């Protein structure tokens, strides 16, 4: 009998934002604009068995990052459910999870605690994280001073060394210098090779998705278009994008 690590049922998420407005219309005439609603995800449902690797594809703005953040518990759905069956989860994404005013070393501790690890567990692996990140003396400088590549290195190092049951990856494999990119790619293959680890990879890197993923989920304009065998879904996606 299959053991599911992730079950997403009828997940819908919308954002609200104010439309552009004029001072004359809003203040002199006393009129107010109503918040505009943007539907980011609509009735998304899928199941992922423990140990499966899912590729997440779709054009920019299709809802991939929103789905990952919902699974990670960062976004609360308007409707539907996300069930992780008690598994620990971490989201690897640029711009998510760090306190910019804190140093890299301090953010290692904070991130690890948010992932559910004890202070002792985190400190026991801190040196390994710092070494993998290759940040050197910058590890004690505020994250606000980091380039996107440095941010990516620290994010990946924390996720790779402090291993959770579920890893969610949002485009981070494509960030960083060529040597670190190769190193992180090999590390990700190593993590994926552990049969009990469940991974979702959102990426525009078709080669990486084809090589690493057991199956692929394709989202377009907030809706699930197709989920299934990797090569089949990628062919349909490529044909749609041509």
pLDDT in tens, 49-104: 999 999 999 999 999 999 999 999 989 999 999 999 999 998 877 656 689 899 99
Nearest 5°: the CA angle 207, 212, 215 is 100
Q: How confident is the model at residue 14 (pLDDT cuts 50, 70, 90)?
A: very high
How far is the C-alpha of 163 from the C-alpha of 210, rounded, in Å?
Answer: 23
Mean pLDDT of 8-30: 69
Q: Is the dihedral of CA 128, 148, 206, 200 positive or negative?
A: positive
Domain boundary assignment for the chain: 1-23+34-87+165-242, 98-163
pLDDT at 37: 79
Fold classification of 1-23+34-87+165-242 (topology level): Rossmann fold (3.40.50)
According to the model, what pLDDT value does residue 24 have? 53
Q: Are the CB atoms for 224 and 46 separated by under 8 Å?
A: yes
Give tens-digit pLDDT for 183-219. Answer: 887 887 887 777 788 999 998 888 889 998 999 999 9
Q: Which residues contact 218 (CB under 8 A, 6 or more apart)?
A: 57, 58, 224, 225, 226, 227, 233, 236, 237
Task: Look at 157 and 1; give whichever has higher pLDDT.
Answer: 157
* Beta bridge pairs of residue 138: none
The gap from C-alpha 105 to its chain's centroid, in whole angstroms, comes to: 22
Facing residues of 226 across strands? 218
What is the chain's mean pLDDT, rounded? 87
pLDDT band at residue 9 using 50, 70 and 90 as cut-offs: very high
Residue 19 scores a pLDDT above 60: no
Residue 109 has pLDDT above 90, yes or no: yes
**What is the per-residue pLDDT for 2?**
65
Q: What is the pLDDT of residue 215?
A: 96
What average pLDDT does this structure show over 21-50?
A: 74
Distance CA 8, CA 189 (A): 25
Whether 102 and 65 have beta carbons less than 8 Å apart is answered as no
Neighbour-count burial for 106-118, b at 16+ CB within 10 Å, e otherwise:
bbbbbbbeebebe
HEC per residue, the chain: CCCEEEEEEEEEEEEEECCCCCHHHHHHCCCCCCCEEEEEEEEEEEEEECCCEEEEECCCCCCHHHHHHHHCCCCCCCEEEEECCCCCEEEEECCCCCCCCCEHHHHHHHHHHHCCCCHHHHHHHHHHHHHHHCCHHHHHCEHHHCCHHHHHHHHHHHHHHCCCCEEEEECHHHCCCHHHHHHHHHHHHHHHCCCCCEEEEECCCHHHHHHHCCEEEEEECCEEEEEEEHHHHHHHHHHHHC
Mean pLDDT on 135-147: 95
**Pairing assessment for the beta strands 198-202 and 215-220 based on DSSP bridges:** unpaired
Which residues does 131 contact at the CB level (< 8 Å), separation at least 6? none
pLDDT exceeds 80 at position 42: yes
Higher pLDDT, 24 or 121: 121
84-93, 125-134, 215-224: the lowest-pLDDT one: 84-93
pLDDT of residue 21: 46
């Amino acid at each position: 009998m299959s053991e599911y690590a992730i079950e997403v049922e009828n997940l819908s998420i919308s954002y609200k934002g104010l439309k552009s407005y004029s001072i004359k219309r809003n203040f002199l005439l006393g009129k107010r604009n109503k918040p505009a609603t943007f539907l980011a995800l609509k009735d998304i449902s899928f199941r992922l068995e423990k140990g499966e690797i899912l590729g997440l594809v779709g054009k920019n703005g299709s809802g991939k990052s929103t789905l990952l953040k919902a699974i990670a518990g960062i976004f609360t759905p308007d409707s539907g459910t996300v069930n992780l069956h008690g598994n620990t989860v971490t989201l690897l994404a640029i711009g998510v999870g760090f306190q910019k005013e804190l140093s890299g070393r301090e953010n290692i501790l904070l991130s690890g605690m948010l992932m559910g690890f004890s202070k002792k567990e985190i400190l026991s692996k801190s040196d390994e994280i710092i070494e993998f990140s290759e940040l050197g003396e910058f590890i004690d400088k505020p994250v606000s001073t980091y380039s996107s590549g440095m941010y990516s290195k620290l994010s990946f190092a924390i996720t790779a060394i402090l291993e959770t049951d579920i890893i969610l990856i949002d485009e981070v494999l494509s960030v960083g210098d060529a040597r670190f990119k190769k190193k992180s790619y090999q590390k990700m293959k190593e993590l994926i090779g552990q049969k009990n680890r469940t991974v979702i990879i959102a990426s525009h890197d078709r080669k990486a998705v084809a090589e690493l993923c057991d199956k692929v989920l394709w989202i377009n304009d907030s809706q699930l278009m197709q989920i299934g065998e990797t090569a089949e879904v990628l062919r349909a996606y490529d044909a749609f994008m041509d």
